[in-house]
A and B are shown apart, each in its own frame.
Chain A
Amino acid sequence: MKTAVIVFPGSNCDRDIAVALEAVTGTKPHMVWHGDSELPQGLGLIALPGGFSYGDYLRCGAIAARSPVVRAVVEAADKGMPVIGICNGFQVLTETGLLPGALMRNSGLNFVCRDVPLTVDNSQSIFTSAYRSGEAITIPVAHHDGNYFADAETLDRIEGEGRVAFRYAADINGSARNIAGVLNKAGNVLGMMPHPERRIEAAHGGTDGRRLFEGLLEAVA
């Protein structure tokens, strides 16, 4: 499967996700610079990596969401292209409007950087098919602005539509209903604060993250 990683000024997990995607797909991803206005042809997945795009100026992900390449990503997503946004990538996806809600400063105001237990809420999506619904997994987080917010009506709607992919097993950042990862309505776009690409080898302490990419490869291949 051909994949692309979008690289912004200030991205810092672009190489981690590239290593994870190559390990799982056997093919090096295309690294696409933020100023490009066209995506490579024949992609099976676009990844928006973690980091601090544009120095988090204005709001986390706000400037990246208006960059030329992200306009192309939004167009591709609207046509059904699988897109995953991790950490800053999740913030970018909410800023584009592809995903509902917003990510605010952690309620405890601290940068949280540690392994966290998650629960898989929905194992029916292309991103979560390798997990079982309700399964407990462990994936690291590293963020300052991961406090998921949406109004009650939106939260009820996304829960009702099975669009919560992952929840924190316990509150770590104040997120509404402990939401850690959200799908779009069509199910081809996932945003999540935890970093599955940092959990792909036994040396990372486990491979719970690798299963996301393996399941995705199987689901879309």
Chain B
Amino acid sequence: MKLRIIVTLKNGVLDPQGKAIQHALGGLGFEGVEDVRAGKIFELELADSTSDAAVDEMCRKLLANTVIENYRVEKL
């Protein structure tokens, strides 16, 4: 099975990269870009027998740093 894992910064965590992207979009003449948050996407190909609990553990133990990041899992 294929999974997509989306990792985003938690609310309240400042995102300097997102801010820089926001300013760059403004610099290109796009108006009304009120906020940008940068994140990461991982696409995993896993054995069908992989449990949801194992996927959750992969996210918590490595793919996301839960001090600053949230994650969500999508089945593809």
Of the listed residues B12, B17, B67, the one surrounded by the most CB atoms of chain A closer than 10 A to its CB is: B67
Q: Are A94 and B16 in contact (CB under 8 A)?
A: no
Nearest-CB distance from A184 to chain B (Å)?
15
A131 to chain B, nearest CB (A): 28
Nearest-Cβ distance from residue A69 to partner chain B, whole angstroms: 17
Chain A interface size, under 10 / 10 to 19 / 20 to 34 / 35 or more = 20 to 34
Chain B residues near A58: list those with CB within 8 A. Answer: 62-63
Bound state CA distance, A102 and B15, in angstroms?
A: 13
Assess the A105–B68 pair: CB atoms within 8 A: no
Given contacts A58-B62, A62-B62, A66-B62, contact A147 B16 (CB under 8 A): yes
Query: By the criterion CB–CB under 8 Å, are A109 and B67 in contact?
Result: no
Chain A contact residues: helix, strand, loop or mixed: loop
B16 touches A150 (CB 8 A): no
User: Contact: B16 with A149, CB < 8 Å?
Assistant: no
Question: Using Cβ atoms and an 8 Å threshold, which residues of chain B touch A147?
Answer: 14, 16
In Å, the complex CA distance between A123 and B27 comes to 47
Q: How large is the interface on B (under 10, 10 to 19, 20 to 34, 35 or more residues)?
A: 10 to 19
Q: Which residues of A contact B62 (CB under 8 A)?
A: 58, 62, 66
Q: Quick one: closest A residue to B40, CB to CB?
A: A58
**Segment 40-71 of B: residues with Cβ below 8 Å from A:** 61-63, 65, 67-68
Contact assessment for B65 and A102 in the assembled complex, using a CB-CB cutoff below 8 Å: yes
Confirm or deny: A108 has a beta carbon within 8 angstroms of a beta carbon on chain B. Answer: yes
B68 touches A109 (CB 8 A): no
What per-residue 1/0 map shows which CB atoms of A138-163 lie under 8 Å from chain B? 00000000010111000000000000
B13 within 8 A of A: yes
Contact between chains at B17 and A101 (CB < 8 Å): no
How many Å lie between the Cα of A92 and that of B22 in the bound state? Answer: 30
B interface residues (Cβ-Cβ under 8 A, vs A): 12-14, 16-17, 20, 61-63, 65, 67-68
A-B contact pairs, 22 of them (CB 8 A): A58-B62, A58-B63, A62-B62, A62-B65, A95-B65, A100-B67, A102-B65, A102-B68, A104-B14, A104-B16, A104-B68, A106-B16, A107-B14, A107-B16, A108-B16, A109-B16, A147-B14, A149-B13, A149-B14, A149-B67, A149-B68, A174-B16
